[in-house]
Structure 1
Amino acid sequence: MQHQRDQHSTARSRAVQLDAFGGPGVLNIREIPAPQAGPGQVRVRVTAAGLNPMDWIMTADAETAARFGLSLPAGFGTDYAGVVDQVGAGVTGFAPGDRVFGGALSRAVADFVVVDPAGAVAANEAHHTPDGVDDRTAATLAIAGRTASAALAAVAPGPDDTVLIGGAGGGVGVFAVQLARLAGARVIGTGSAASAEFLRGLGAEPVAYGDGLAERVRALAPGGVTAAIDLHGTETLHVARELGVPDSRICTIAAQVDGVSAANGANAAPGALEEIARLVAAGRLRVPVAASFPIEQIRRAAELQAGRHVHGKVVIDL
């Protein structure tokens, strides 16, 4: 992979772009002029880009894209990791050769991204990658890690809690389960029957989603559930209410329901992402990478991720 990259001119950049909004079939690889770092910016030579549901959701149609400030031609992907190779005037704390990770809204699947290292949101930021965290893993942290942290903060689990997490095997779920366990809580995680062993490996007690979920949870936790996080729609939310969990201890990320907190990465506390990276570096939190693809297979990778049945994260190698 490194040899191929060394042969590619730094004056040009491969980038995944969309000429029309839609599904994975509209994703194309283009060769474009490489972006240049301006004042207050750094340019990163991307080595890996992690995919998230928001990548294809916000580029699915023009109306949704406009809410994120996107217009055609648009890029694709937000999470990235790589190495700084240009530093603009006025930048401090970053130098060429530094390993970094972060977010570049809908433009991360490219050879180069230009970001503001002082940026505070996943749309435009850079953080130093800790020793002990490889680039594939670092490229999965920004969106899912922050979102999980915000959701956990909304319900504040502790050693006396039993937390029901819906969609526990997905990209955000793998973080949420482990963070709840680190907080001392017991975790029951919903998923398909095929995901049961995977969820156990994260520290969750698996339960199959679908009809009868409330009864299955009662059987697992006769003492009751005290908090819930719904990472996929509203099924877990409604079951939590049925089980007597107060709305103040229920959180969603993919739905808006009156009386219930809705979390996203923008709600995460300052320093949340750096803390997650430190936990990964210390071996206390692991990030399962379900699959990795070269940039040439971006459509296949996006289709897998959009199917919402993958266990863990999907990463593009550049």
Structure 2
Amino acid sequence: MKAISYARYGGPEVLAYGDVRDPKVGVDAVLVKVRAAAVNPVDWHCREGHLDRILDPVFPVVPGWDVSGVVVGLGVSVTEFAVGDEVIGYVREDFLSRGTFAEYVAAPVRTLARKPRNLSFEEAAGLPLTGLTAYQVLVKALQVKRGETVLVHAAAGGVGSIAVQLARHFGARVIGTASPRNHDFVRGLGGEPVEYGEGLAERVRGLAPEGVDAAFDTIGGDTLTVSANLLAPEGRLVSIADGEVVAYGGRYYWVRPDADDLQRLSELAEQGVVSVHVSETFPLEQAAEAQRLNQEGRTRGKIVVTVGWETEGEEEGQQDPENQEGQGR
């Protein structure tokens, strides 16, 4: 199959488009024909070796953890899905190798949920990692309650934009940091925008004189310090970007695959509670450019890589879904 892969750590230039080995489908997995895969900052952090201390690479590595697509094959023990089901997934394993920037991916069922019917494949691909991060931080870590004031950083970004929508759905007031060009976007999500940079603490205090009940840090560094100083008594702080949060009495959070949480997000998307803004799409062959743009850190919403399929059937030389469905039986 065709895929994007890298054989060594490095910049976007190490990404190559070409043939890689077809994925094997485990007993608890399904074969997904990829329609779209979202780009996330963790993709380039992995590519540059920043996560080497916790994730072993098995080169060549196919990057990508987010996916939307169609089930075309079933592992022997799978009863949750059928061939033809449209799915989304946060397909993360405990090593780097078999990612979603490919024509096919073998995805454990624990990483999947049904695709929201009202979202395109491109929009749906942007939901799993960002949506799960926002949902798990707000619900499980910060335990946001109705009537509380929540500070969300990078409120126009992938995680931040979902967090604003979810927090509003939970009945919270949301103050969101964003550049001026994204203020209208944040307002449209239900947040109250404030500008980044010097004077941020004063701007937030102007909106919440008694402090915020919960702060969701997605940036780290000075932003983390400001967030800690803006907390009301008994306020809670979580960061997904900076482990130093524990020094401020907060919690460092790493998202995990959870089929139930992902299915709940899919349902919220179908109810119109959560939407995904796709800022730009790239064909699979141009995934290096997509990662380069994501690494610049100024994206509104999500950047998505798409896999073009010219026909409904499988092209010659590619995997046969009927054969895959019976694999291992």
Alignment TM-score, normalising by the size of structure 1: 0.88
Residue type matched to 1:14 in 2?
Answer: K
1:99 has 2:82 as partner:
no
Is 1:131 aligned with 2:117? yes
Contact map agreement 2:113 2:266 (CA 8 A) in 1: no
CA distance in 2, matches of 1:71, 1:175: 32
Q: How far, CA to CA, are the matches of 1:270 and 1:111 in structure 2?
A: 23
Match of 1:109 among 83, 101, 108: 101
Identity %: 39
Q: Which residue of 1 aligns with 2:155?
A: 168
Q: 1:164 to 1:16 in 2, by over 3 A?
A: same
**Could you list the per-position Cα deviations for residues 45-84 of structure 1 after superposition, in whole angstroms to 9, with x for gaps in the alignment?**
10000111111112212x6235222232111111011111
Cα distance in 1 for residues equivalent to 2:78 and 2:146: 43
The answer on whether the counterparts of 2:38 and 2:305 sit within 8 Å (CA) in structure 1 is yes
Q: CA RMSD in A?
A: 1.9
Alpha-carbon deviation of 1:305? 0.9
Q: Mean Cα displacement is larger for which, 285-294 or 130-139? A: 130-139
In structure 1, what is the Cα distance between the partners aligned to 2:135 and 2:30?
A: 27
Please name the residue that 2:312 is paired with. Answer: none
Q: 1:142 aligns with which of 109, 115, 128?
A: 128
Counterpart CA distance in 2 for 1:176 and 1:231 is 11
Alignment of 1:26-65 (within 5 A): 26-61=14-49, 64-65=51-52
Query: For residue 137 of structure 1, what is the amino acid of its counterpart?
Result: E
CA contact (8 A) 1:155 1:250 kept: yes
Please state whether the residue corresponding to 1:201 is helix, strand or coil.
helix
Say which SS state the counterpart of residue 172 (structure 1) adopts: helix
- Which residue does 1:242 correspond to in 2? 229
Q: Does 1:155 align with 2:145?
A: no
Moved more, 14-23 or 66-75: 66-75
1:68-110 Cα offsets, whole Å, 9 max, x none, are 2223211111101111111232221322211111033351000
Q: 1:260 aligns with which of 242, 246, 250?
A: 250
The structure, 1 or 2, with the larger RCO (C-alpha pairs under 8 Å, 6+ apart) is 2
Amino acid at match of 2:283: P
Q: How far apart in 2 are the matches of 1:283 and 1:225? A: 27
Question: Aligned ranges for residues 211-290 of structure 1 at < 5 Å?
Answer: 211-246=198-233, 249-256=236-243, 257=245, 258=247, 259-266=249-256, 271-290=260-279
Q: 1:31: how far off? A: 1.2
Q: Which of 190, 197, 215 is the matching residue for 1:210?
A: 197
Aligned-pair distance for 1:166? Answer: 1.2
Quickly say closer, same or farther: Cα 1:236–1:226, change in 2 above 3 A. Answer: farther
User: SS of 2:164's equivalent?
Assistant: helix
Distance 1:296 1:270 in 2: 30
Q: Report the AA paired with residue 42 of structure 1.
A: V
Instruction: Give the distance between the partners of 2:52 and 2:2, measured in 1 at CA.
Output: 22
Amino acid at match of 1:214: A
The answer as to whether partners of 2:114 and 2:266 remain within 8 angstroms in 1 is: no
CA–CA distance in structure 2, aligned partners of residues 66 and 239 of structure 1:
29
Where 1:151 maps in the other structure, the secondary structure is helix
State the alpha-carbon separation in 2 of the partners of residues 27 and 269 from structure 1.
29
Secondary structure at 2:181 match in 1:
helix
Q: CA deviation at 1:234?
A: 3.6
Counterpart residue type for residue 129 of structure 1: K
Amino acid in the other structure paired with 2:126: T
- Pairwise CA distance, 1:33: 3.5
Distance in 1 (CA, whole Å) between partners of 2:253 and 2:239 is 6
- The DSSP-based 3-state class of the residue aligned with 2:198 is coil
1:271 CA displacement:
2.1
The number of aligned residues is: 298
Shift of 1:303: 0.9
Would you identify which runs of 4 or more consecutive aligned residues in structure 1 move more than 6 Å?
none
Report the residue type matching 1:151 in the other structure. V
Contact preservation (8 Å) 1:41, 1:116 = yes
Does 2:173 correspond to 1:186? yes
Contact 1:85 1:97 in 2 (8 A): yes
